[in-house]
Amino acid sequence: MVDHLIDWQAAAEDPIFRLTFPQAGMLAPADLARMTALLREDAPAVAVRAAAQEIRARMNPHPAGQVALNEPALGGEQLPGLQHKYAETLLVFPRPGQTCHAYCQYCFRWPQFVGDPEMKIATDDVASMVAYVRAHPEITDVLITGGDPLIMTAEVLARYIRPLLALDQVSSIRIGTKSLAFWPHRVVSDPDADELLRLFESVTASGRHLAIMAHMSHARELSTEVSRLAVSRIRSTGAVIRCQAPMIRGINDDPAVLVDLWRTMVRLGTIPYYLFVERDTGPHDHFAVPLQRAYEVFRSAYAQVSGLARTVRGPVMSATPGKVIIDGVAEIGGEDVFVLRYLQARDPGLVGRPFFAALDPAATWFTDLKPARGLPDLLS
């Protein structure tokens, strides 16, 4: 499906090509030279693999404390494959759903796809998932993520969803997917497409909110007839489609591109949700947009769309303390500052609180920021 979205006459500059195909600049020059030499010398596979693993280990495989801070425990036993960062939301990584319809080169979940089982986050222990939710009545929202859960058959996905429908505390279920862009046939013509839609209908018929969290980086991903049909079929089940993506250099760091994307989303009846900042992992230096420029691009695009598209929130950093939005740039006490706010936080007391950081035009991530002089520090 991806090849139909690429202009092969100008592939090097094509946003979908850059989105899905590796580029030399994704590696530091020394690492690129090292891997190139090993391959040209026809080095043993074990040596190539060891070099790749060493490079990956330096690329911040699990940012924002995904494993170290987010993995919960029950009865003194760790529950790998679950993450509980915010009180009301549990993330579930089904083991059969930890591949994807395409491998976006900026993906912060790249450790799921590199063939190293020790790096992968995954579970097939549905009973422990249910027990954990029951033990935590504050959990009302479950996000099934990956990888891509829609890689799984409807029957396998149902093993994770149906037990949640027996828990009154669960009021919403989310499914993260790239399929609407790269394999919309999943809900149109795959052998179990209708069965999958019936599963979605069972969630909404139970009185719960079902949100399909579609990853959409560029309007071209929604340009095909089959993608638009997939959107229509999902919406017919009562599910809501919320679209999100990071701002990625060379792909969508342009107000005109974002305006086209958000208007397309609204036209199709989907909801623009988040525009993230590229996380500090993997080839971050290759794809990152400086925070000040990200804000300027976002603001310019936001000013050009109607209120129906202004549901989008951004630029947002999913950092260790929580989700931080850049609300603006201002001058306070003679100092230029970023105006920031926690949309979500490990500490619920921080949610909604504005705070400030010194304006650094080179900063590309939360940890690059320094507190503004004489103002409260909420960066840690």
The DSSP annotation for 172-237 comes to: EEEEEESHHHH-GGGGTTSTTHHHHHHHHHHHHHTT-EEEEEEE--SGGGG-SHHHHHHHHHHHTT
30: confidence class by pLDDT, cuts 50, 70, 90: very high
Q: Residue 133: is its pLDDT beyond 90? A: yes
Mean pLDDT taken over the chain: 95
183: confidence class by pLDDT, cuts 50, 70, 90: very high
> For the chain, what are the domain ranges?
27-58, 61-271
Q: Residue 314: is its pLDDT beyond 80? A: yes
**pLDDT at position 374:** 76
**pLDDT at position 360:** 96
Domain 61-271 annotated CATH 3.90.320.10: no
Q: Which residue has the tokens 């999913």?
A: 318
Tokens of 68: 């170290």
**pLDDT at position 376:** 73
The C-alpha atoms of residue 116 and residue 332 are separated, in whole angstroms, by: 48
Q: Residue 258: is its pLDDT beyond 90? A: yes
67: confidence class by pLDDT, cuts 50, 70, 90: confident
pLDDT digits (tens, 9 = 90+) for 286-303: 999 999 999 999 999 999
What number is the average pLDDT over the span 7-14? 90
Edge-to-edge strand order for the sheet containing 89-92? 82-83, 89-92, 141-144, 172-177, 209-215, 240-247, 271-277, 313-318, 322-332, 335-345, 354-358
Q: Residue 379: is its pLDDT beyond 90? A: no
Q: Considering the chain, what percentage of its residues have pLDDT values greater than 90?
A: 87
| Burial class of residue 2 in the structure, from the number of CB atoms within 10 Å of its CB (0-12 exposed, 13-18 middle, 19+ buried) | middle
Q: Residue 378: is its pLDDT beyond 80? A: no
**pLDDT at position 249:** 96
Tokens of 89: 């939301």
Q: Residue 11: is its pLDDT beyond 80? A: yes
Tokens of 374: 């004489």
139: confidence class by pLDDT, cuts 50, 70, 90: very high
The C-alpha atoms of residue 317 and residue 254 are separated, in whole angstroms, by: 18
pLDDT digits (tens, 9 = 90+) for 188-236: 999 999 999 999 999 999 999 999 999 999 999 999 999 999 999 999 9
In 3D space, the residue among 262, 380, 370, 244 whose CA is nearest the CA of residue 315 turns out to be 244
What number is the average pLDDT over the span 347-362? 95
**pLDDT at position 1:** 67
**pLDDT at position 68:** 87
172: confidence class by pLDDT, cuts 50, 70, 90: very high
**pLDDT at position 102:** 83
